[in-house]
């Protein structure tokens, strides 16, 4: 069995490859959602958290579908990261064609775009706070194609479906996970 690198090692790897504050905050948001789902689904919160933290660590320097997440995955393999983390990161990007078969893989896909969307929802609140975001307004904003245009809504819907959870419950669960780390996210 491959030893799991520490969260600190994963954080340093993220910092080395990701200079942008927004992408770092996105990584922290996805990490929080993954850790929460790990507890709910009986997964290892460290494995799930590190997977969330590193899922886009190569994106800033390698944003094309040809490079992301392939570049990051090869680097993680080189550094000896467990294959379950590597595979989940590879499977979170639909363009790779890798089917999501494990709870870890399905959850990463399900929370990735939703975390970005919830962040956008918080930023339009008067206090720019996640605590102000309501699931009903999230559902309404999901229908508004002009809002948070870069978020792939179909991934949010498909992610909840692959997890086998109601979209409203999924939104509430992820929102709750993000509220708990809101100061870290600046929200």
Residue 120 lies in a domain: yes
Domain span holding position 168: 7-185
Query: Per residue in 92-136, pLDDT tens?
Result: 999 999 999 999 999 999 999 999 999 999 999 999 999 999 999
Name the domain count of the chain: 1
Given a cut of 70, whether residue 1 has pLDDT beyond it is: no
Residue 169 lies in a domain: yes
Residue 35 lies in a domain: yes
Residue 1 lies in a domain: no
Given a cut of 80, whether residue 85 has pLDDT beyond it is: yes
> What CATH number is associated with residue 153?
1.10.3210
Query: Per residue in 133-153, pLDDT tens?
Result: 999 999 999 999 999 999 999
Residue 2 lies in a domain: no
Residue 174 lies in a domain: yes
Q: What is the DSSP string of the chain?
A: -PPPPPHHHHHHHHHHH---HHHHHHHHHHHHHHHHHHHHHT--HHHHHHHHHHTTTTTTT--STTTTTHHHHHHHHHTT--HHHHHHHHHTSGGG-PPP-SHHHHHHHHHHHHHHHHHHHHHTSTT--GGG--HHHHHHHHH-TTTTTTS-HHHHHHHHHHHT--HHHHHHHHHHHHHHTHHHHT-
Query: Per residue in 151-179, pLDDT tens?
Result: 999 999 999 999 999 999 999 999 999 99
Residue 85 lies in a domain: yes
């Amino acid at each position: 069995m491959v030893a799991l690198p520490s969260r600190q090692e994963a954080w340093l790897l993220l910092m080395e490859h990701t200079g942008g504050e927004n992408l770092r905050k996105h990584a922290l948001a996805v990490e929080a959602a993954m850790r929460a789902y790990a507890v709910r689904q009986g997964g290892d919160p460290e494995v799930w958290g590190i997977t969330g933290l590193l899922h886009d660590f190569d994106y800033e320097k390698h944003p094309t579908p040809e490079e992301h997440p392939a570049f990051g995955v090869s680097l993680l393999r080189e550094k000896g990261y467990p294959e379950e983390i590597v595979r989940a990161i590879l499977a979170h990007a639909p363009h790779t064609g890798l089917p999501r078969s494990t709870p870890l893989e399905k959850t990463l896909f399900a929370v990735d775009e939703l975390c970005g969307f919830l962040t956008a929802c918080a930023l339009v609140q008067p206090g720019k706070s996640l605590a102000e975001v309501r699931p009903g307004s999230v559902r309404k904003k999901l229908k508004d194609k002009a809002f948070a245009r870069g978020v792939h809504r179909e991934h949010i819907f498909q992610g909840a479906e692959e997890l086998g959870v109601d979209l409203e419950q999924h939104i509430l669960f992820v929102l709750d996970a993000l509220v708990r780390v809101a100061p870290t996210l600046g929200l």
